[in-house]
Amino acid sequence: MNLQGLAAGMSAVKDDTKLECRICWYVYDPAQGDPVEQIEPGTPFLELPPHWRCPECDAEPGGFLPMDD
């Protein structure tokens, strides 16, 4: 599932929401970005580039769930 398709199902995800990979439990934190893929800090999950995948297990973005604050 690409990020555009994911966006439709995650309309409640805010720009600062952390998301967790269901496979390896990696947490994408927008405040930190993703240094592995050179994603700048402050990049919301739904604005990640189409090629982005979990840097720990290579899961697609559809494998991530929003974390409770």
Q: Is the pTM of this model over 0.75?
A: yes
The pLDDT tens digits of the residues spanning 19-57 come to: 999 999 999 999 999 998 999 999 999 999 999 999 999
Q: What is the dihedral of CA 19, 21, 25, 30, to 10 degrees?
A: -30
Reply yes or no on whether the pLDDT at 6 is more than 80: no
Give pLDDT, residue 10: 62
CATH 3.40.50.300 fits 3-66, yes or no: no
Reply yes or no on whether the pLDDT at 7 is more than 70: no
Query: Residue 1 — very low, low, confident or very high, per pLDDT cuts 50/70/90?
Result: very low
Smallest CA-to-CA distance from 26 within 69, 67, 50 is with 67
Q: Average pLDDT of 4-19?
A: 72
